[in-house]
Structure 1
Amino acid sequence: MGKLVSKSWQESKLLWHIAFPAILTAVFQFSIGFVTVGFVGHIGQVELAAVTVVENVIEGFAYGVLLGMGSALETLCGQAVGAGQVSMLGVYIQRSWIICGATAVILTPTYVFTAGILRGLRQPTDIAAVAGTYTRWVIPQLFAYAANFPLQKFFQSQSKVWAMTAISGIALALHVVLNYIFLTRLGHGLVAAALIGNVTWWLIILAQFIYLVSGCFPEAWKGFSMLAFKNLAAFVKLSLASAIMLCLELWYYTAVLILVGLLKDAKLQVDVMSVCSGP
């Protein structure tokens, strides 16, 4: 019995050594949108409702698809590490970037035509109009998601997650400071909030990419390779399966928010939802 308890404790410590920083990373990155909504709430009721709808309907849809597409890398990287083929990790992350980048291009029209989509879902006209303006400015974040998820899976497969956690934590702190300066102190509006989000996300991507190519992964990362363009069809098939599974889990809140937008005094109802549940 004592041996079992000791073994369980050792396994638990090993699990939390990887899981805890991964959880912190997810919390930090999730909080970027939460902070944006919090500061935008001081601009106006319509702006708060619009950004909440964007975060949870448009970006929530894209986030779910790209997270699912990127999650295929988790399976492949785990298999490669288990088989001792660490050199394939660099090829796999490049394939994932190609697939996720192409997916982001396909999803871009949803950002461009957000106003029309929301009106089609019978959301309030003023919220749809403001949301449409905001989404056009946050298109760079869509491509940041496409780059971010493969990087996360690459690092996690090798248990190198603390650097990713530190990068996300520093970026979140900078995000708070920039929002305070430009929105609260200088009084800039919704466009400034969108641009700050773009800067924050792309700083995360840049820092993670520097870490990737810094020489910390000599076996896994050997530079860009044309092998990344081989077997893309099989990679897409696995990615789509992962995307469908994850999207079914993530989109329930999107459906709830759309239904809330149909209620009387929708701006107030959506604002309440943003405070209660976050983006």
Structure 2
Amino acid sequence: MLHVKILTDYFFWWEMCRAMDYGIHDHLLSSEQNEVANLKERIYEESKKIWWIALPGIIARVSSFGALIVTQSFIGHISAVDLAAYALVQTLTVRFANGILIGMSSATETLCGQAYGAKQHYMMGIYLQRSWIVNLITCTLLMPLFIFGGAIFRLLGQEPDIASASGYISLWFIPMLYNYVFVLTIQMYLQAQQKNIVVAWISVVQITVHVLLSWLFVSHFNWGIPGAMAALNISSVVVSFSELVYILGGWCPETWTGFSSAAFKDLLPVIKLSVSSGVMVCLELWYNSILVLLAGYMHNAEVAISAFSICLNVNGWEFMLCLGFLGAACVRISNELGRGDAKATKFSIKVLLSTSVVIGVLCSITCLAFGHNLGYLFTNDVTVVKAVSNLSHLLAISVLLNSIYPVLSGVSVGAGLQGTVAVINMCSYYFVGIPIGALLGYVAHLEVEGIWIGMIIGILVQTLSLSYMAFQTDWDLQVRLAAERLQRWSLKSSGTA
């Protein structure tokens, strides 16, 4: 594996430079070489663990996000207004709600990962059921955003025809949002016990079914928007139904022992962790949503929204690769903390981050090479395609940054440090990125480019802050805190589990 060789060379010189001084004795140099001789094997073993978790997660996330992109592509060939409306709903309302649900679900990842590392397998099913309860309530509270979607977009000052179409499309997303409650939590539950290969296979089936149904409903039967959205909802149900069958059918005997009344106990600590997780993740996803909203106030809003959302969706699709590493980071860190191994935790962080950066560089180069024709995947409108092409260099920079901060966020989720990351995200995005983007977009008249430059600056500040936090964290202390958390919560529920 190419990335293993790159990482081996990197860690070799890192360890050598740390231990060597120009006046060191030969026997110390020999000792260091013997120590580094095992480095390749260590990196290879850690990489295998990472990819075993990350690859199925990447396939699942790329397929899930790909379903949204496929729908956008079909709608984009129906009409420009419908494309802008779908882009507005998908990148604003859906991302807003999905951000909350993903964040709330990441508490499942933290708790299940640490429980699995500590071999408290019976608690994982309890944590999953608690997450269902919390997320179903949260999802219901979010429903007014979709029911009154058209009125909300008109209130926000969007163009009347786009706002009207957005309100209709919003209603079609309601079933899929409830579906996310089960899909997200189950995937994190399975990932924590390294059984997410089944999720990858289910996701491949999902995207295949979705493409076929989209073609059938939209291109063959000419059902338009209802056909495109019906295909999206049907393919989403395939995922949740299949995952529930896998769990309830007895394929997780150690971690799922059936429904339990213990799921309704000790909900407050889970809610607290879920809320901090939700704030951490949704602040990231809302960031892009607000920038799309700002684009809607610019001259020729239809083109601005469409071009910006196309770039953000391409960026988001690549971000799904990085979310695979975010999940791997969470599982590896939480597992090692649950086992009580701080040294293994730190080594895993280094391998995760280095691997993700290598992939980010390759994806960034790809965006620069094919940026001029990217827009044709979504629309035949030459004006929109040209606008997308003008943003391709900024897209490449964003893709590169994507390879760093999700891994660092995953490290924080694995350690249960979501609250600290939420503060960093708030400051980086909303006190730095959005104000700078608004100034460059409106005052400096850089339009969409200015908004995106502000976004990049905000992400850069976040990345630097998370990097400092990760390498300054006392991981021995985190091991003790994880042990205390598991002991406290498992003792409360063990009697009724």
TM-score (structure 2 length as normaliser): 0.55
Name the residue aligned to 1:71: 106
2:186 matched to 1:156?
Answer: no
Name the residue aligned to 2:207: 172
Deviations 1:80-126 (A, max 9, x none): 11222101111111110111111000000000011111112211111
How far, CA to CA, are the matches of 2:309 and 2:78 in structure 1? 15
1:264 to 287, 299, 320: 299
How far, CA to CA, are the matches of 2:75 and 2:223 in structure 1? 10
| 1:84-103 matches, cutoff 5 A | 84-103=119-138
CA contact (8 A) 2:190 2:196 kept: yes
CA contact (8 A) 1:25 1:168 kept: yes
How far, CA to CA, are the matches of 1:100 and 1:29 in structure 2? 19
Q: Which amino acid aligns with 1:143?
A: Y
- Percent identity reads 38
In structure 1, runs of 5+ residues without a counterpart are: none
Q: Which amino acid aligns with 2:103?
A: G
How far, CA to CA, are the matches of 1:20 and 1:116 in structure 2? 41
CA deviation after TM superposition for structure 1 residue 215, in Å: 1.4
How far, CA to CA, are the matches of 1:114 and 1:173 in structure 2? 30
Q: Which amino acid aligns with 1:236?
A: I
How far, CA to CA, are the matches of 2:89 and 2:171 in structure 1? 11
How far, CA to CA, are the matches of 1:249 and 1:106 in structure 2? 21
Please give the secondary structure, in 2, of the residue aligned with 1:159: coil
CA contact (8 A) 1:123 1:261 kept: yes
CA deviation after TM superposition for structure 1 residue 137, in Å: 2.1
How far, CA to CA, are the matches of 1:57 and 1:276 in structure 2? 14
Q: Which amino acid aligns with 1:170?
A: V
How far, CA to CA, are the matches of 2:37 and 2:64 in structure 1? 40
Name the residue aligned to 1:250: 285
| 1:31-46 matches, cutoff 5 A | 31-46=66-81
| 1:19-168 matches, cutoff 5 A | 19-168=54-203
CA contact (8 A) 2:106 2:274 kept: yes
CA contact (8 A) 1:260 1:266 kept: yes
CA deviation after TM superposition for structure 1 residue 274, in Å: 3.2
Please give the secondary structure, in 2, of the residue aligned with 1:84: coil
The structure with the largest alpha-carbon Rg is 2
How far, CA to CA, are the matches of 1:147 and 1:6 in structure 2? 38
2:231 matched to 1:199?
Answer: no
2:245 matched to 1:210?
Answer: yes
Query: Once structures 1 and 2 are overlaid, which stretch shifts more, 260-269 or 100-109?
Result: 260-269
CA contact (8 A) 1:54 1:131 kept: yes
How far, CA to CA, are the matches of 1:91 and 1:276 in structure 2? 40
CA deviation after TM superposition for structure 1 residue 216, in Å: 1.3
How far, CA to CA, are the matches of 1:41 and 1:64 in structure 2? 24
Q: Which amino acid aligns with 1:148?
A: V
Q: Which has the higher contact order (CA 8 A, sep 6+)?
A: 1
How far, CA to CA, are the matches of 2:65 and 2:196 in structure 1? 16
1:187 to 222, 225, 237: 222
How far, CA to CA, are the matches of 1:231 and 1:31 in structure 2? 37
How far, CA to CA, are the matches of 2:239 and 2:279 in structure 1? 26
Please give the secondary structure, in 1, of the residue aligned with 2:251: coil
Q: Which amino acid aligns with 1:104?
A: C
CA contact (8 A) 2:296 2:302 kept: yes
How far, CA to CA, are the matches of 1:150 and 1:108 in structure 2? 19
2:40 matched to 1:5?
Answer: yes
CA deviation after TM superposition for structure 1 residue 260, in Å: 0.8
CA contact (8 A) 2:147 2:171 kept: yes
Deviations 1:184-233 (A, max 9, x none): 11111212222211111111100111111121111111111111111111
How far, CA to CA, are the matches of 2:220 and 2:310 in structure 1? 22
Deviations 1:44-103 (A, max 9, x none): 111111111111000000010000000001111012112221011111111101111110
CA deviation after TM superposition for structure 1 residue 276, in Å: 2.5
CA deviation after TM superposition for structure 1 residue 277, in Å: 2.7
How far, CA to CA, are the matches of 1:12 and 1:137 in structure 2? 41
Q: Which amino acid aligns with 2:157?
A: R
Name the residue aligned to 1:225: 260
CA deviation after TM superposition for structure 1 residue 273, in Å: 2.2
How far, CA to CA, are the matches of 1:115 and 1:62 in structure 2? 16
- Runs of 4+ aligned structure 1 residues displaced above 6 Å come to none
CA deviation after TM superposition for structure 1 residue 18, in Å: 1.3
Please give the secondary structure, in 1, of the residue aligned with 2:38: helix
Q: Which amino acid aligns with 2:206?
A: A
Number of aligned residue pairs: 279
TM-score (structure 1 length as normaliser): 0.97
CA contact (8 A) 1:138 1:195 kept: no
